[in-house]
């Protein structure tokens, strides 16, 4: 049965006040349109988890959606600070729980695999583990050595952007894979946004590229350009100029609010957002072409 629905409807059906949300994507495929829709619908009291909160969570924190942040790197990648998150942490307005990247991703790996914890080798840097009780040490029963463990992360809802999927939610991703698959399997519910909805035959013609199977997906939303100002490999480029611009305009709460008024509350959806960006930006972000060779799966 088709799971295709609009993004506003998917957010209404699957995201609730107080949820633990994981909007995934490491620099690539960050579902900004979904973040904006959550802001528009006025959801509050969320726990926002992401290895790199990036601008999407800086905007959601600025909009007052978040009670708590779970993260492993709170920078504006390649630029500097995430000013709204940093101000909220420094003023004590936002709770937080912090990991290294591997600790964070290991939590998802445990959640996605149905395991009670994931082991990691020791890192020698004890300060974070002393402040975050989710880091524990156990003894390896085979060697007797110390092993660091973290518990599963099982978000209420994962939001995942992909290049393409069929109506059942079988999603294909290429380029940086990040933690997309783990977030999907670790979460109770999954909203998938895609650049293109394709026929099932397209998916079945290249099954190795399917990263997320429809069986874990609850809603499929056709949202072209969902990831801007991050990017979708082969569809559009990362908008580094916007990452620099956000650094300036988000320095004050007023600046961030003006942005949200103009680009989130003032617009109905992503199509309007993309149009507002204008043709010059569209041209600047064109991906160009660099095709892979087809492979022969064999006719068995």
- Residues near other proteins (CB under 8 A) are 26-28, 51-52, 71-75, 77-78, 81, 86, 89-90, 92, 98-103, 105-106, 108-109, 120-128, 131, 145-146, 174-182, 231, 233, 237-238, 240, 243, 287, 290
Least Å from the CB of residue 78 to other proteins? 4
CB closer to other proteins out of 176 and 262: 176
Q: How far apart are CA 62 and CA 241, in angstroms?
A: 20
> In terms of Cα–Cα distance, which of 34, 33, 25 is closest to 54?
25
Least Å from the CB of residue 25 to other proteins? 9
- DSSP-derived 3-state class of residue 260: helix
Q: How far apart are CA 61 and CA 46, in angstroms?
A: 10
Q: How far apart are CA 52 and CA 76, in angstroms?
A: 9
CB closer to other proteins out of 21 and 94: 94
**Which residues, 6+ apart, have CB-to-CB distance to 263 below 8 Å?**
36, 273, 276
Q: How far apart are CA 106 and CA 112, in angstroms?
A: 10
Task: Return the number of other C-beta atoms located less than 10 Å from residue 84's C-beta.
Answer: 27
Least Å from the CB of residue 47 to other proteins? 17
Which residues share a beta bridge with 66?
Answer: 46
Least Å from the CB of residue 76 to other proteins? 9
List of E strands, 185-237: 189-197, 210-212, 219-222
CB closer to other proteins out of 92 and 268: 92
Least Å from the CB of residue 216 to other proteins? 16
The continuous run of DSSP H or E covering 92 comes out as none
Least Å from the CB of residue 101 to other proteins? 5
CB closer to other proteins out of 43 and 82: 82
Least Å from the CB of residue 233 to other proteins? 5
CB closer to other proteins out of 240 and 257: 240
CB closer to other proteins out of 120 and 198: 120
CB 216 within 8 A of CB 189: no
Q: How far apart are CA 76 and CA 240, in angstroms?
A: 11
CB closer to other proteins out of 22 and 231: 231
């Amino acid at each position: 049965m088709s799971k295709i629905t609009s993004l506003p409807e998917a957010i209404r059906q699957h995201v609730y006040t107080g949820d633990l949300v994981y909007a995934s994507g490491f620099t690539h495929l960050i579902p900004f349109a979904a973040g904006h829709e959550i802001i528009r619908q006025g959801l509050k009291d969320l726990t926002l988890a992401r290895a790199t909160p990036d601008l999407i969570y800086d905007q959601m924190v600025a909009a007052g959606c978040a009670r708590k942040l779970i993260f492993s790197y709170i920078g504006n990648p390649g630029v500097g600070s995430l000013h709204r998150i940093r101000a909220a942490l420094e003023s004590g307005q936002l709770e937080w729980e912090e990991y290294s990247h591997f600790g964070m991703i290991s939590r998802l790996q445990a959640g996605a695999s149905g395991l009670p914890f994931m082991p990691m080798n020791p890192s020698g840097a004890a300060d974070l583990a002393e402040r975050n009780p989710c880091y524990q040490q156990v003894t390896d029963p085979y060697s007797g050595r110390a092993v660091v463990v973290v518990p599963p992360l099982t978000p209420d809802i994962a939001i995942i952007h992909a290049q393409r999927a069929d109506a059942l939610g079988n999603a294909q991703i290429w380029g940086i894979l990040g933690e997309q698959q783990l977030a999907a399997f670790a979460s109770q519910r999954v909203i998938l946004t895609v650049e293109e909805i394709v026929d099932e035959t397209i998916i079945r013609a290249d099954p190795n590229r399917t990263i997320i199977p429809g069986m874990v997906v609850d809603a499929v939303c056709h949202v072209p350009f969902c990831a801007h100002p991050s990017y979708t490999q082969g569809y559009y480029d990362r908008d580094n100029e916007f990452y620099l611009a956000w650094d300036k305009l988000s320095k004050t709460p007023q600046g961030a609010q003006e942005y949200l008024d103009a680009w989130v509350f003032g617009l109905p959806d992503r199509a309007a957002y993309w149009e507002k960006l204008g043709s010059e930006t569209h041209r600047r972000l064109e991906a160009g072409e660099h095709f892979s060779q087809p492979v022969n799966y064999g006719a068995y």
